[in-house]
Amino acid sequence: MHNETISNEQNVYMYNRKRLEMTGIDDVESFNENEIVVRYQEGAISLEGTDMKVELFSSETKRLTVTGVISCIEYFGASLKGKNKSWRKGK
């Protein structure tokens, strides 16, 4: 990935929808091959796709790498902190 410094800055780097690198990630809340939910300073992010795998997560550097076919990235605000996936309608 780009810079190795630890930062709360949240960035997304997508490579042909088959590899996703993120910075500023505090925790991986849940994951399976179709959905990965992560927490960052301002709330939660849901990644949806197929054959997805968490290749790397470091709580020290706050970096996440996901491979698979990524079809959707959805952000949820700070009001969702502390809640689980049940806050998502229809899920």
pTM for the model stands at 0.78
Q: Which long-range contacts (CB under 8 A, 24 or more apart) does 21-24 make?
A: 21/63, 21/64, 21/65, 21/66, 22/63, 22/64, 22/65, 22/66, 23/62, 23/63, 24/62
Confidence check: pLDDT of 6 > 90: no
Is 2 within the bounds of a domain? no
85, pLDDT greater than 70: no
pLDDT at 87: 41
- Per-residue pLDDT tens for 30-81? 999 999 999 999 999 999 999 999 999 999 999 999 999 999 999 998 655 4
Residue 91 has pLDDT above 60, yes or no: no
Domain encompassing residue 56: 11-79
Q: How many structural domains are present in the chain?
A: 1
Question: What CATH number did the domain enclosing 38 receive?
Answer: 2.60.40.2000
Q: Stretch 9-24: mean pLDDT, rounded?
A: 96
